A and B are shown apart, each in its own frame.
Chain A
Amino acid sequence: MLYREAGQYKTSYQRDQAIFPIAQDRWVVWTFVAVAFLVVPFFVNDYWTNAVLLPLLIYGLAALGLNILVGYCGQISLGTGGFMAVGAYASYKLMTSFPEMNMILVVLLSGGITAAVGSLFGLPSLRIKGFYLAVATLAAQFFLVWLFNKVGWFYNYSMTGQITAPDREMFGFLLTGPSALPWVKYLFCLTILAVFALIAKNLVRGRLGRNWMAIRDMDIAAELIGVRPLLTKLSAFAVSSFYIGMAGSLLFSVYLGAVEVGEVFGINVSFLVLFMVIIGGLGSIVGSFMGAAFLVLLPIFLKNFMVDGFGMMPVTAKHVEILLMGLLIIFFLIVEPHGLARLWQITKEKLRMWPFPY
């Protein structure tokens, strides 16, 4: 009853093409953004930022990037972990080589470097498709992790082979390093995510996004109406890697602070982010966040529920949690193979008719 668009007339194409053409959607989104920016920072503490909010934001960004490639352009990639590692090591080298550099610039440049690497590994996509491409990108995953372990220059020849983020400030507040402030970290990641989510939405509703989807849905027809396959696929690889690189950079510099490449950016990260995209919904911006939220928040929730609620042993709870996560993933994929985003969309469509569906 509340969610209804009756009486909302669109008198221009611009209004009709808006991201949220329905007024109720706009209010909800603006409220959500306002709360995230203006209310949450006053209440966050170390636990909330490090356990919940930062992983959510950072993996949300990575899932968003992968969704551009897999969901919008239809090119499967299993190199996400490797590309995140590129972002992390790029920002490490930038932070240590140019101590004066602003952190925003560090993150953006790390994204740019990852975009270049990503396009390089995207070159085979012109020749191979589907699962075969997935295997080709798997090569990127293993090669990049091996490279960052092997070549000392990347970790400044440190004894442990780890990279550690030095202290950096943002507007006079400590952003990175062990004593950084939780709310600064949170706001930094949130701002980057919000800005780049908007950019992603703008891209996918513009010409480039339509070309991506055309390649995804029917590449031959796309070519015959003038879409250049190589350029389009590589641009998807570049944009996607840019996002994933930024996520890797944030994961290293803001969230973890110290990284050992094989542990943090292994193949399981590639799968984790791919699962986020599939569960959230291929080809949906909001789906990327839903998928990230599902896979980041649900384990925490289950653990708290079982340990604090039922007094279960933490070790047992961990095992049960893995079990339950698997079951829930299967459940949601059976209920809606197109992901949580589609479920959400169907709910909204039903809600428009409710309570009189005829």
Chain B
Amino acid sequence: MSAFVDPARMAGHSGMEKGEVLLRVDNVSLAFGGVKAITNISFDIVKGEVRAIIGPNGAGKTSMLNVINGFYHPQEGTITWRGKVRRKMKPYEAASNGIARTFQNVALFKGMTTLDNIMTGRGLKMKSNFIWQCLHWGPALKEEIEHRRKVEEIIDFLEIQAIRKTPVGRLPYGLQKRVELARALAMEPELLLLDEPMAGMNLEEKEDMSRFILDVNQQFGTTIALIEHDMGVVMDLSDRVVVLDYGRKIADGPPDEVQASQDVIDAYLGVPHEH
């Protein structure tokens, strides 16, 4: 499985060391008209960690991810990515800066095969010009094969060899989620945003997915920010947790600490039934 793991290549996009602040969100507020989705939130994501964002429905978790990868532009606050402050950024710029993302409801390219879906994720790394692409020869062909090899490595890693040539529209839900992860991995991101990677899965699929997430984090050194409702998964996987409620941050810290916080229990976790 680890034949292609090259830590220098995967982890070292920006030459940042483990433990440095990769992304920091400062006092970000986002509103749609009168609806305040996010109010004055600050937190940071450290290189190499698994960061969880949790909270009840409508707390602003997905909006937060959308802010990070440039899909929404916050009215207030700044985002610092690799030590550089940015205000506005187009999603494809975020993509070329090493931020990849999966979606809450699967957003695959339904008409394309698994292979093509993952190959599309390599698009930013492909450079051959239009004329060579027309001829499918020379640099274009070389590049196709080179990236196909990379894609095959990801396919091996996620164990989806059997569905390589299947149009993703025909795949069951659990596998679609996995293909989506594969597509995001194909971008060799520095920061991987996972929006409910385990929603709607059964126990076995959840266990598989958890293992893949940990492997990605440990073998490739990819920093991961994930939204998840399954508390067991969150507490096991993440290094630090930030809790949102009604667009505000109510807790931030290691899983145990967050779990014990009275605010979090009141707002989200609730109390186990007394017998």
Contact = CB atoms under 8 A, between A and B. Distances in A.
Interface of A: 12-14, 17, 199, 202-203, 205-208, 210-211, 213-214, 216-218, 220-228, 283
Shortest Cβ-Cβ A-B pairs, 9 listed: A226-B95, A202-B136, A217-B109, A221-B107, A226-B124, A206-B133, A13-B148, A223-B91, A210-B120
B128 interface: yes
B119 A210 contact: yes
A225 B136 contact: no
Contact of B112 (A13, A207, A210, A226): A210
Contacts of A214: 109, 112, 120
A224 B109 contact: no
A224 B133 contact: no
A51 B172 CA distance: 49
Nearest to B97: A226
A333 B133 CA distance: 34
Contacts of A211: 120, 123
Contacts of A223: 90-92, 95
B145 interface: yes
B92 A227 contact: yes
Nearest to B135: A202
A203 B121 CA distance: 17
Contact of B120 (A199, A203, A227, A283): A227
Given A13-B145, A213-B116, A227-B92, A202 B110 contact: no
Given A13-B149, A214-B120, A224-B91, A207 B111 contact: no
A217 B110 CA distance: 6
A199 B123 CA distance: 20
B141 A218 contact: no
B108 A218 contact: yes
A213 B108 contact: no
Given A203-B134, A224-B91, 6 more contacts: A13-B149, A202-B134, A221-B108, A223-B90, A223-B95, A225-B123
Interface residues of B, number: 40
Interface centre among B71, B107, B108, B148, by most chain A C-beta atoms within 10 angstroms, is B107
A148 B252 CA distance: 67
B72 interface: no
Interface centre among A14, A205, A221, by most chain B C-beta atoms within 10 angstroms, is A221
A8 to B, nearest CB: 15
11 contacts: A202-B136, A205-B136, A206-B133, A210-B119, A214-B120, A221-B103, A225-B120, A225-B121, A225-B183, A226-B95, A228-B92
Given A224-B71, A226-B95, A218 B107 contact: yes
A205 B113 CA distance: 12
A14 B145 CA distance: 7
B101 interface: yes
B123 A206 contact: no
A203 B133 contact: yes
Contacts of A226: 92, 95-96, 123-124, 187
Contacts of A203: 133-134
A206 B144 contact: yes
Interface centre among A202, A211, A225, A283, by most chain B C-beta atoms within 10 angstroms, is A225
Interface in B57-112: 69, 71, 90-92, 94-96, 100-101, 103, 107-112
Contacts of B71: 220, 224
B128 to A, nearest CB: 7
B130 interface: yes
A287 to B, nearest CB: 13
Given A225-B183, A226-B95, A202 B133 contact: yes
A222 B110 CA distance: 12
Nearest to A235: B130
Interface centre among A199, A206, A208, A211, by most chain B C-beta atoms within 10 angstroms, is A206
Contacts of A213: 109, 111-112, 116, 120
Nearest to A223: B91
A221 B110 CA distance: 12
A282 to B, nearest CB: 9
